[in-house]
A = this chain, B = another copy of it.
C-alpha cells in the first residue's frame, strides 16, 4: 500500500509520499513513489504514484522515454500542466491496454492512482489527481488537497488544518502529521518519507527531502504530535454520567 498527499496553496505546492511496497507479507521493499521532472526556472513537475508497482513504474518510464508516434512526448517537453495531466492519462491508458487483460487473467486488478503537481514558466501552478481510467480532476481553492492510496487515516488532520493560505512550512508539517497517522495505523505504509516543496512561480523544487527514522525533525514532530494528542485528550472533560 501507499500513502501520498499533494497540497495546493497560495504560496506553492507540497507533495509527500511514503516508500513501502509489498507483494504479500514476505515481499516488502522500499521503492520511490515520487518522481520529478525539472528544468529549474523553466519547468518543474512532481508525480506521486500509488497502486500496482509494475503499472506505476511502466507509466513513469513512458512519461520519461516518450509517448506518441515518434515517442517524443515526455513530461520534460510537454507545453502545459493541462497537457502534462493528459499525457499522464495517456500513459496510464497505454499500460492498461498492454497489461490489464493479463493481470485480470491472473486475478489481479489494474490499479494506479496519481497526483501530479507543478508549473511551467509563465503559466499557472496546478495540481491534478489522475485515475486509473486516465481521466483526471484539478484541485481548487475549496478543495486544496488530493490523497492517493491508504487515504483515510491521514484525512482528519488535513480536513481540520489545510486552507489555501496555509504556509508551505505549515503544510509540510501537516502532510508529515497526516503521514504519521497513516504509518501508525497501517503497517503497509512505511518510512522513509519523501517530501517536496515547490514555491509558486519558481518552477523548481525548493525543498526535496527523504526522511527516515533517524531524521531528527520527523522524529520530533511524531513524538510531539503523539504527546500533544494525549494531552488534549486529557484536557477534554470526561462525561459526568454516573458510571
Contacts and interface: CB of A to CB of B under 8 A. Distances in A.
Contacts of A207: 241-243
Given A161-B230, A184-B160, A169 B225 contact: no
Contact of A232 (B12, B168, B228, B238): B228
A155 interface: yes
Contact of A155 (B153, B228, B231): B153
A26 to B, nearest CB: 23
Q: Is the interface of A mostly helix, strand, loop or mixed?
A: helix
B217 A239 contact: yes
Given A206-B243, A207-B241, A224 B235 contact: yes
A230 B160 contact: yes
A241 B169 contact: yes
Contacts of A241: 169, 172, 197, 207, 209
Contacts of A20: none
B172 A236 contact: no
Given A161-B230, A168-B243, A229-B229, 6 more contacts: A152-B185, A172-B241, A173-B238, A221-B237, A224-B232, A225-B236
